[in-house]
Structure 1
Amino acid sequence: MRKAREVLVIGGNRYFGKRLIARLQAAGDRVTVLNRGSSPPPPGVVHLVADRGDQKSLTSALGSRTFDVVVDQVCYTPRQAEIARRVLTGRTRRYVLTSTVEVYEYEDSIAPVRETDVDPVDVGVDLGLPWDDPEFLETHYGEGKRQAEAVFAAGRDFPYVAVRVAHVLGGDDDFTGRMTYYASRVRSGTPIPVPVVNHPATYIHVEEMADFLFWTVGQDFTGPVNAASHGLLTTEDLCAAIAAHLPDGQAVFQHVEVGEVSPLSFTRAYGMDNSRATRLGFRFTPARQWLPKAVAETLGRDD
């Protein structure tokens, strides 16, 4: 029988984070959840309350605890990463950062990007930027994650993984509102603004994302890894799946050269190469296979 692991999840109270916690519990792992205390964690976990952006608060909450693995769902800035690295060095055998496809925002490649296209060792870190300003952070989300990865990559004796997550869809608890945005426009026939050249992107289902993180907890590889289902999807693909779920609706697209466009429509390529994770042993599913299910899950309440 496999020995139960001590796993710390920082954040993780919603979407694929809560699904990860459920998988860890089902596997018999001992789970500790650390958050600000604004929402209760699932039953059966140890709950620690702290401000993860405050070193004293984080240190005090952890006490003398050590962990086999830490999964950090809410590290958005290099400042938060610096604190986590200082506090958790020597307390965990492995640290898993939930990162993002947005770290590739400066890459201009039609081919799917590989992890080596953004090596965190080469990324500069600027702790002096206004990372505590919510507006700045919102407009620099990808850069915050890039620099957070760089902080962990610079840490000696700190085995880390940066899971670069594709755009996540599915579930009846999708809080982003992106699919419901499209559904409302498909229902009414309201034009959907997209770029003149609208590039496809990589996606992953919320359950597959939780599976991937759970799998990662049990592995020993380090460094960045892309997490994306096989194949690309366009805005037109998403809206076609929604229109099939809402047969009285119609997807009408408006191509705009300048101005705001719809969510999940892109002026640049957003494809990720998932071959590293595949070689390491994870089996992704094709995005087109789960897309109808994701639409039904997200929009089922609106039928």
Structure 2
Amino acid sequence: MAMKKPVEVLVIGGNRYVGKRLIARLLGEGHRVTVLNRGSLPPPAGVEQLLADRDDERSLTGALGPRVFDVVVDQVCYTPRQAAIARRVFSGRTRRYVMTSTVEVYEYEDSPALVREEAVDPFTVAVDPGLPWDDPAFLESRYGEGKRQAEAVLAAGGEFASTVVRVAHVLGGHDDFTGRLAHYAERIRTGEPIAVPARNQPATYVHVEEIARFLAWTAGEDFTGPVNAASGGPLTTEDLCEAVAAHVPGGRAVFRPVEVGEVSPFSFRRSYGMDNARAARLGYTFPDARQWLPRAVAETLGKGA
């Protein structure tokens, strides 16, 4: 499912976790890869690095110079302002733009059924560039809304073909920086109760290597619009803790349901399940999450691959 011939790919972001795996996959498939970021880490061998602040249109334009690309994969587009800058800067510079989005765009879709892409149509999302998107606290509290509006800005443009990949919660890898599975491991080890909503809902997940693979595949296709990226089979907090407990000798998860207040990571008051049928129709089949969950937990907790 690789791209059919070597192409010029620009990855915006790409320093860690999903991004570095995406770059490794693209290089392995023989593509010419350029990465654009602020330079906090050096690029891997064989990759050209451009240094720029993607929020600064002049900086971005200057760093790109006369370069053009077959595909741009934007790993760090969070706001409608950033999407608007991308439309202006990459007009005439690329034929295809792939934005990494999130399951959080469905934050208002509370249904036990797996949600499909049409539940949030970018063409119907209202855009308000006047909101304080540059305020980190505001952006953190409006993460899903920022992504929704960024999707809408890209969809409204005709400068290049675009698609947005709505990524499920990502698991796996020794370099998982979130600490979420480690949170469970510590509580299982100590016997401390794990706080979950009284009505705890499942979610869909994707392995970090799988989402890198899917993004690389998407870059080589020609479809447009949103696509959900999630493994089959929603998982509950209990499913995750069972997999974690297998690596904690004598460990057993104890849950404490709460009506109001803070709960543990990967426990949800509403369903975060995504339907991946569109990806399948387009030619990409995701595995079932239970096939890779034990491996993902072992990788993250440092218990082997």
**Is the Cα–Cα contact under 8 Å of residues 197 and 259 in structure 2 kept in the other structure?**
yes
Task: Give per-residue Cα distances to partners, 1:59-91, cap 9 Å, x unaligned.
Answer: 000011110000000011111111011100111
SS at match of 1:9: strand
**Which residue is 2:233 aligned to?**
231
Alignment of 1:182-201 (within 5 A): 182-201=184-203
> Which amino acid is 1:119 matched to?
D
Cα distance between partner residues in 2 of 1:69 and 1:88: 10
Cα distance between partner residues in 2 of 1:184 and 1:50: 39
**Which residue is 1:62 aligned to?**
64
Give how far 1:38 is off: 1.4
> Which amino acid is 2:49 matched to?
H
**Which residue is 1:36 aligned to?**
38
Ranges in structure 2 where 5+ consecutive residues have no aligned partner: none
**Which residue is 1:284 aligned to?**
286
Cα distance between partner residues in 2 of 1:41 and 1:176: 22
Cα distance between partner residues in 2 of 1:300 and 1:15: 16
SS at match of 1:129: coil
**Which residue is 1:99 aligned to?**
101
**Which residue is 1:46 aligned to?**
48
Task: Give per-residue Cα distances to partners, 1:234-267, cap 9 Å, x unaligned.
Answer: 0000000001121321100000001001111000
**Which residue is 2:207 aligned to?**
205
Cα distance between partner residues in 2 of 1:25 and 1:244: 36
**Which residue is 2:142 aligned to?**
140
Alignment of 1:55-134 (within 5 A): 55-134=57-136
Alignment of 1:152-163 (within 5 A): 152-163=154-165
SS at match of 2:72: strand
**Is the Cα–Cα contact under 8 Å of residues 87 and 159 in structure 2 kept in the other structure?**
no
User: Which runs of at least 4 in structure 1 moved beyond 6 Å after TM superposition?
Assistant: none
Give how far 1:40 is off: 1.2
TM-score, structure 2 as length reference: 0.97
Cα distance between partner residues in 1 of 2:192 and 2:153: 45
> Which amino acid is 1:133 matched to?
D
Cα distance between partner residues in 2 of 1:142 and 1:3: 35
Ranges in structure 1 where 5+ consecutive residues have no aligned partner: none
Give how far 1:301 is off: 5.7
**Which residue is 2:7 aligned to?**
5
Cα distance between partner residues in 2 of 1:2 and 1:226: 23
Cα distance between partner residues in 2 of 1:102 and 1:7: 27
Give how far 1:173 is off: 0.4
SS at match of 1:232: coil
Cα distance between partner residues in 1 of 2:255 and 2:141: 26
**Is the Cα–Cα contact under 8 Å of residues 152 and 158 in structure 1 kept in the other structure?**
no
Give how far 1:52 is off: 0.3
> Which amino acid is 1:98 matched to?
T
**Is the Cα–Cα contact under 8 Å of residues 188 and 250 in structure 1 kept in the other structure?**
no
Cα distance between partner residues in 2 of 1:90 and 1:116: 29
**Which residue is 2:300 aligned to?**
298
TM-score, structure 1 as length reference: 0.98
Given candidates 244, 254, 260, the residue that maps to 1:252 is: 254
Cα distance between partner residues in 1 of 2:98 and 2:294: 30
Give how far 1:94 is off: 0.4
Give how far 1:2 is off: 4.8
**Which residue is 1:270 aligned to?**
272
**In structure 2, do the counterparts of structure 1 residues 224 and 2 end up closer, same or farther at CA, with 3 Å as the change threshold?**
closer
Give how far 1:110 is off: 1.4
Superposed CA RMSD in Å reads 1.2
Cα distance between partner residues in 2 of 1:36 and 1:16: 17
Task: Give per-residue Cα distances to partners, 1:174-201, cap 9 Å, x unaligned.
Answer: 0111111111111111000000000000
**Which residue is 1:20 aligned to?**
22
Task: Give per-residue Cα distances to partners, 1:107-126, cap 9 Å, x unaligned.
Answer: 12211110000000000011
Cα distance between partner residues in 2 of 1:272 and 1:292: 21
**Is the Cα–Cα contact under 8 Å of residues 38 and 53 in structure 2 kept in the other structure?**
yes
